[in-house]
Amino acid sequence: MRADHPSPGLKSAIEHLPRPGASILDLGPALAANVAFFQPLGVRLRIADFDRTVDEEEARDAIPALWERRLPHLLPFHAGERFDLVLAWDLPNYFSRERWLAVARRITERLTPGGAMHMLVRVGAEMPQHPCVYRIVEPGTLSEEILSESMMAAPRLPHADVEKLHPGLVAPRSHLGKHGMQEYVLEHAAEHNLPPRPTAQLRKRGR
């Protein structure tokens, strides 16, 4: 099932990309529509297909310590590689807080000073069993394709927790969509003359 939804946060992030030569990291799968959208903008697009990589490497249930050690393999970067925009889509909803915090730290290290991270957080009680697929229809419109009819509980991260899970980043603006998503654009706190938010305090677990 597909439906189009407004995405003012994504529109703003795209409008603020340096041109030409911006570098974008797409954590989702390779989609012809998104490649075609970015091609005329003269950007460098890196597609990670992170969720599928995690499943193929059987890493989804790795304990936090092992997860952090495996991240450089699950989400590899070239030496000196930096990104002006990271498209996380709805993936943060599908990883535990410990695991996503490690992902966020790794990405933030690669974010340019004026860079941004775009993400979608479920605000309803339930969400599809698997991440959705997002196609950019135009800068301010996303097409959401739901791949799973089965539902599961959603984490329903509040604004404060979203910032805590992304150390060094802040979300000065967010947008609530009618489709049960809160859209965030996270940027370096220093760019807004704001102190970094507290980091999420996670429960210690046996290792």
Whole-model pTM: value is 0.92
pLDDT for 205 equals 40
What value does the mean pLDDT of the chain take? 93
Q: φ, ψ for residue 51 (rounded to 5)?
A: -60, -45
Pick the CATH number of 2-192 from 3.30.460, 3.40.50, 3.30.70, 3.30.1360: 3.40.50
The band of 131, judged by pLDDT with boundaries at 50, 70 and 90, is: very high
User: How far is residue 45's CA from residue 33's CA, in Å, rounded to a whole number?
Assistant: 13
| Burial of residue 147 (number of CB atoms within 10 Å: 0-12, 13-18, 19+) | exposed
Tokens of 14: 């795209």
pLDDT for 63 equals 94
pLDDT for 190 equals 86
- Angle between the N-to-C axes of helices 97-108 and 64-74, in degrees from 0 to 180, rounded to the nearest 10: 40
pLDDT for 191 equals 83
Higher pLDDT pick, 189 / 27: 27
The answer to whether 42 and 184 are in contact (CB under 8 A) is no
Residue from 194, 192, 48 nearest 114 by CA: 192
Domain ranges of the chain: 2-192
Counting residues of the chain whose pLDDT is more than 70, the rounded percentage is: 93
pLDDT for 19 equals 87
User: How far is residue 172's CA from residue 136's CA, in Å, rounded to a whole number?
Assistant: 23
For 144-175, write each residue's pLDDT tens digit. Answer: 999 999 999 999 999 999 999 999 999 988 99
pLDDT at 203 over 60: no
User: How far is residue 164's CA from residue 200's CA, in Å, rounded to a whole number?
Assistant: 5
63: how many CB neighbours lie within 10 A of its CB? 12
Residue from 165, 168, 174 nearest 195 by CA: 168
Q: Across residues 189-196, what is the average pLDDT?
A: 75
Q: Which residue's entry shows tokens 């490497």? A: 57
Tokens of 156: 């329903």
pLDDT at 196 over 90: no
pLDDT at 41 over 70: yes
The answer to whether 62 and 203 are in contact (CB under 8 A) is no
Residue type, 100: W
pLDDT at 45 over 70: yes
User: How far is residue 9's CA from residue 47's CA, in Å, rounded to a whole number?
Assistant: 20
74: how many CB neighbours lie within 10 A of its CB? 17
Tokens of 124: 């309803």
Q: Across residues 31-42, what is the average pLDDT?
A: 97
User: How far is residue 164's CA from residue 129's CA, in Å, rounded to a whole number?
Assistant: 25
The answer to whether 186 and 167 are in contact (CB under 8 A) is no
pLDDT at 197 over 90: no
